[in-house]
A and B are shown apart, each in its own frame.
Chain A
Amino acid sequence: MIQDRQRKIFHESWYRLAGSRIALRSSVRIHRQIYRGVLWYVLYEPFTNQYFRLPQGAYSFVSRLSVSRTVGEIWNSMLESGEGDIPGQGEVIEMLAQLYQANMLLYDGVEDGTKLFDRDKKKTRKKVKSTLLNIFFLRIPVFDPDPLLNRLRWLIRILLSTPMMLVWLATVIVAVKYGVENFDALKDQSAGFLAPSNIGWVYVCTVFVKLFHEFGHASVVKKYGGEVHTLGVMFMLLAPLPYVDATASWSFRKKRHRAFVGAAGMLFEFFIASVALILWANLGGGTARALCYNVFIICSVSTVLFNVNPLMRFDGYYILTDLLDMPNLQQHSVRHLQYLLERYAFRKRDAEPVAFRASEKVIYTVYGISSAVYRFFLFAGFIVAISAHYLILSFVMGVLLCLTMVVIPVGKFFRYVFWGPGLSQVRNRAAVLTVAFFTLLFAALFYLPVPDTFTAPGVLEARHYENTIANEGGFATRLYRESYSAVRKGDTLVLLENLEIKYAAEAKRSEIQEARQMYYRALNEAPEDMHPLEKRLSVLKQELEELEKSESELALVAGMDGIWSAPGIEDYQGRWVGKGDSLGILLDTTAFDFLAVVNQEDGARLFTDKPVRASVRLHGDVFKELKVVSAMAIPSAQDRLPSNALGWLGGGEVETKSDGYSEQTAEPVYLVRAEMPDSMDVRRLHGRTGKIRIQLGYAPLAVQGIRKVRQALQKYYKM
């Protein structure tokens, strides 16, 4: 299909403008900018801080506006001279109307005062509306920092100087070094980061960091001659944080200046983060260290999740748009997607394209889809994350999210499809397609059965195993086998030496010798003594036998075929091994079981619905799906975990409480024993954790979802 856009020469309302004498206000500044090789003109009105971007053709008209000639005269003369890309009358009207709305026009005539007020009212209302729609990023301007920044010019000059840049570089390099060195420590401390006791400090640090960040933006704007007139509070995901309005950078001619403004916040933040990291690494402990840690984490997290990420409309986005030369990337992406829909799904012939080059099309498409998906998941993830700690808040935010990201856009979409004037030509098609799409979607959600699965954490266990226990204490003199070596039944694993037993046996033997000699003597001299001596001899022999048995038990022998798992056994060389001490486990590697911990909600279903199939993925080998031969739930609730690795204290996901010695699950759990296949192409280690995925028949997605929600309600609200 071919593009068929209508462009009209004449406009019926032209007469209203033709006789007017209009010019740009003298305060309007014009900046020439080149975006992707195309020349644009940016009009900037400093009084109202408004921008307006014009393509060359339109600008050549606007540049001719003057109070000495009427609009009609200008248009006619342009038409006659045939120079430039002259806009149609309708386009001129639209353009001038927009300039008028942006208060950039100077005109000869009496303005209807009521209209001015109407316009103001409308603008305010629009602002309120967009604020409410953008509730997760609510912005409230507070004060004008420009005078303050002017006074701080000296500081800005120092901060943005070359020596300072070197300092910055040095600091960051040092910080990176410390960061790499202390990576594990950094990681370990992160567990307590979001703990309620720390959250207040986190917020304080965030404000501190963000103030620097915003100061970074503002100072670069000032450096290149822009003005910063708004410093305010932004309720980012409901948390109040500072922000500045750095839109003045839009008029900068060089794109690297614009990009620098965008990046400055992060650069300042990096510096703070580096200093914090260095301090953290060198401080002994206490509040100061914890604060440094907070600052560092905030900088890195906010940078990765928000600032540098171009999918959200923060610094990364603006830097990207500057570098790509695509201002309004986000809006254009949305419009481009709309265009694709109109053009290829609804087959609207005069759909207005946004992108003309192949590269633009790709960028808009990719950006539009990925930013929407990313944003949705970011918010959803955020809500899920805080729901663990602040349930009511997450519920409120969930409702808001649903409103702003689902209900309103879908509502708008429906209005656009069914009533919007843009689709009047292809309304039937659009309506039918939309209805069909949503019907199919709902049908699929409610009627298409999909595997009904759940996952549960668990641990791999050899089906048969025995502990290698020293039955007798002794010094390990000789290690016959290394850890993880295959052993056969009867192999000696460790030889212990116990001198006490040895000497006792020796003594016993001597005693026996003595008793035997005495027995022979009695045979000659006192036959009446023979009987008790015989008794004594047998007792002594029995005692010796016991000692010899103990002696023989000093050699640890494998009780069955398998693998001897005894990590760190080398260290036992020459060391004392107590009686009853365990020296590793002997595992029968022919058969493994997976022991999974299932919560009550899913466990209950395990007994009603038979598992159709189950598979296991082990941590570290997530791409290898291991089919399970059979899975059996053990029909009694437990509060002990098969492995401590599954509980919270062991870094697992099952909620546990510690009762001093061992862990106890917070809620009763069920165990599922799944028989693993005989051969697996992963390392089968006893105690290796993983996840089991159990499928219980088929059910439509919506039914599954509703069940989950109801279970959650039941759990948290007792409904």
Chain B
Amino acid sequence: MDLTGDYRLTSLKRVEKIPVGIDAFVFRLVGRFKSRRSVIRRILRTARKIDSLGRSLSEKSDAELKGRIEGLAVLFKRPVDDSVLCEAFALMREAAFRTMGYRPYVEQIAGALCLYHGYIAEMSTGEGKTITAAMCAAVRGLSGMPCHVITANDYLASRDAQIMKPLFDYCGLTVGAVTGAMKPEERRAGYAAAITYSTAKEVLADFLRDRIAMGKMQNFSKRLLDRFSLQGGEFGRGVVQRGLCTAIVDEADNVLIDEAVTPLIISRENKNEGFNESCRQAYELSGKLQEGIDFLVDGKLRTIHFLTDMDEWLEGPASSGFSKAAFLKDLIRQALTARYLFVAGRQYVVEEGKVVIVDESTGRKMPMRSWNGGLHQMIELKEGLELSGLKETEARMSFQRFFRLYKNFSGMTGTGKEALGEFWTIYGSPVLCVPNHRRCLRKISMLRIFSTKESKRVAIVREVMNVHATGRPVLIGTKDIDESETLAEMITALGLECRVINAVRSDDEAAIIERAGRLGAITVATNMAGRGTDIKIPDKVKKLGGLHVIATECNPSSRIDRQLFGRAARQGDPGSASHYASFEDDVLRRNLPGPLWTLMRHLGRLSALAVRWAQYSAGRKAMKSRLSVQRTDTWLEDSLGFSGNGV
């Protein structure tokens, strides 16, 4: 590795503190100003200029174009002015045409420009975000600095890298993909490419693993000394990345907001018999406690409150080590949490003798993850499985914090306006709405709200039958695994064929999703299944009215609802969506105050307001928790500065 590369490896953007109080208010106003309409209008104007510039390039020979791109690469080593940028994008557009066979629209160029300038571009689903990202990545890639394109999942990362390879090849750029199953050498190769496609999880995990590998050598000066000292040169073997420079995040709202606070943890499992023994003891003891007498289960806050004086109660059984009274109490709390607040199939599933966590909001399985503080062990005890070892965290970082370390940061999303404030305050990126190329033909029917889940399901199944009778394909989005299974059963019971995608059955996800647009197909999927994959519909279906999407449950955020609706009527196709909710849905139950919940239930048509209310309050809660994570991060950063272990 050369010195520059070595320097870049750990040179990160200094993370600015998030303003609070009145500063925060003013800062948000600045964000609004930066997201104003005229900005996107100006960008569109530039895009049109690039468009006309691009047309003049169409007569040029390949060799000439390649030569000009190569010439640009030199210019991009330092900051460029607008004309050079325009030329670069015009060339990319022409390159895209010659390699991919179609000319990116003005809107796509505008999107790419937004990305280049560090905005979050809101582009509707099916507006060709892949090519937009690729054009920007190619221009960024010219500088030779690492450029990461973050996609929603592994499949998309490798697919997009594959599809866009010709374009990058044409520009003389290398492209790589990093996916979950790869080995370190493959990863290194992936990151070594000018443009790397990967997922947020992989990039962050590699980043953290690199940091662990670097150990004390995270400091450039130390590395420099090490390099020139006698025993030097050992460093850098395990490191796979080249540093953080540019990130282009697809599905930015999901990565940067919904999942932003779930920290990624690199941990090492080590068997700790003492701890496991204490866990067993605590689990056993927890069985002796009675709900309502010894403790209370708080479903709303998802915690356990003790009603008896545990310290006294534990005086007998407590001993040393982890079984000290103070620690045992904590473990018993975890045991009770596992017993009363965690349900198989909802928060986790058991697979091959292992507890696998399920993401509640997406219904996706998350193998490799585990709960900490003994909760995982308790759930294993509950399910009668063999105890896994104690996970010791080696490195940990939230996506939120991670993405703030990139020097050039931009993202794309289908639904960004709702989170404008947060994108700006946390990531410093204003959100711009790129207009659609083609008019959207999606019809969304009114929200229908039922008082019980059962009545809602019946109505859904009726609608599925009605739509199916016309031959239109139906996609049913559910929130969790159970719900998807129940609905699928109900539909099959009527003699209709339906396919299910959820955390338990996710093997041929992409294939099912691709076929979901066929004539008469019925697909039940948990919310995020097959994200990023287009559901292509044949012409026949188009004539019938396109894909019909049913959202069966209201989500904590209206953004997620909109994402689901976005599956229908893509790229100017026809399509429709309908929306169901019931008062027994988690979102409503958890976010509405009790009396209001009862009241709203009897309001008839007005009860739809309850959903808005619940979503608003859920959104606020989530934002608050994200901010508190941020604050804790900052506190740790300030307070543990001496540990030398922070990033």
Contact = CB atoms under 8 A, between A and B. Distances in A.
Contacts of B645: 15-17, 19-20
A110 B644 CA distance: 7
A110 B394 contact: no
Interface in A1-38: 1-4, 6-10, 12-20, 22
A22 B644 CA distance: 11
A15 B208 CA distance: 12
Contacts of B233: none
B326 A4 contact: no
B374 to A, nearest CB: 7
Contact of B374 (A4, A10, A88): A10
B263 interface: yes
B319 to A, nearest CB: 8
Contacts of B39: none
B468 interface: no
Contacts of B367: none
B321 interface: yes
Contacts of B311: 3
A288 interface: no
Contact of A349 (B305, B309, B635, B638): B305
Contacts of A97: 635-636, 639-640
B616 interface: no
A10 B373 contact: yes
Contacts of A18: 392
Contact of A112 (B305, B309, B641): B641
Nearest to B268: A15
Contacts of B333: 6
Nearest to A100: B642
Nearest to A116: B641
A79 interface: yes
A13 B642 contact: no
B636 A8 contact: no
B308 A2 contact: yes
A80 interface: yes
A421 interface: yes
Which range contains the number of B residues in contact with the other chain?
A: 35 or more
B372 A107 contact: no
A8 B330 CA distance: 6
Contact of A82 (B219, B305, B310, B321): B321
A119 to B, nearest CB: 7
B318 to A, nearest CB: 11
Contacts of B393: 12-15
A7 to B, nearest CB: 5
A681 interface: no
Contacts of B319: 82
Given A9-B322, A13-B636, A86-B324, A20 B373 contact: no
B642 A7 contact: no
A545 B274 CA distance: 130
A9 B326 CA distance: 8
Interface string A93-132: 1001110110001011111101100110000000000000
B183 interface: no
B324 A100 contact: no
Given A14-B393, A107-B644, A79 B321 contact: yes
Contacts of B326: 7, 88
A428 interface: yes
Given A9-B373, A15-B393, A20-B645, A82 B320 contact: yes
Given A15-B396, A82-B320, A86-B324, A100 B309 contact: no
A109 B330 CA distance: 33
B330 A9 contact: yes
A65 to B, nearest CB: 12
A12 B372 contact: yes
B372 A10 contact: yes
A425 interface: yes
Given A10-B373, A10-B374, A93 B640 contact: yes
A15 B640 contact: no
B292 interface: no
Interface in B600-647: 628, 635-646
B446 interface: no
Interface residues on A, range: 35 or more
Nearest to A17: B643
A657 B201 CA distance: 89
Interface in B326-356: 326-327, 329-331, 333
Given A2-B309, A20-B644, A88 B638 contact: no
A624 to B, nearest CB: 54
Contact of B644 (A12, A82, A109, A428): A109
Contact of B219 (A16, A19, A20, A110): A110
A119 B642 CA distance: 13
B330 A6 contact: yes
A20 B642 contact: yes
A100 B637 CA distance: 12
Contact of B643 (A2, A20, A421): A20
B307 interface: yes
B469 interface: no
Nearest to B320: A82
B574 to A, nearest CB: 47
Contact of A7 (B330, B636, B639): B330
Contacts of B329: 7
Contacts of B7: none
Contact of A16 (B307, B310, B640): B640
Contacts of A14: 393
Contacts of B327: 7, 9, 88
Contacts of B274: 80
Given A10-B373, A79-B321, A97-B639, A15 B392 contact: yes
B593 interface: yes
A559 B222 CA distance: 115
A107 B395 contact: no
Interface string A403-443: 00000000000000000010001001000000000000000
B306 interface: yes
A20 B639 CA distance: 14
Contacts of A112: 641
Interface string A463-501: 000000000000000000000000000000000000000
A425 B308 contact: no
Contacts of A7: 326-327, 329-330
B301 interface: yes
A118 B17 CA distance: 11
A349 to B, nearest CB: 5
Contact of A13 (B305, B306, B331, B640): B640
B395 A100 contact: no
Contacts of A79: 321-322
B378 to A, nearest CB: 13
Contacts of A115: 637-638, 641
Contacts of A82: 319-321, 324
A2 B324 CA distance: 20
A4 B305 contact: yes
Contacts of B628: 421
A15 B394 contact: yes
B373 A428 contact: no
A16 B636 contact: yes
Interface string B426-448: 00000000000000000000000
Given A100-B641, A119-B638, A16 B331 contact: no
A441 B301 CA distance: 32
Ranked nearest first, the 8 interchain pairs of A and B with the lowest CB-CB distance are A82-B320, A109-B644, A97-B639, A107-B642, A15-B393, A20-B643, A16-B645, A4-B306
10 contacts: A4-B310, A7-B329, A9-B373, A10-B372, A12-B396, A22-B642, A80-B321, A88-B330, A109-B643, A111-B641
Given A97-B640, A108-B644, 20 more contacts: A3-B311, A4-B306, A7-B327, A10-B372, A12-B393, A14-B393, A15-B392, A15-B396, A16-B646, A79-B321, A82-B320, A93-B639, A98-B639, A100-B639, A100-B642, A107-B643, A107-B644, A115-B641, A118-B638, A119-B638
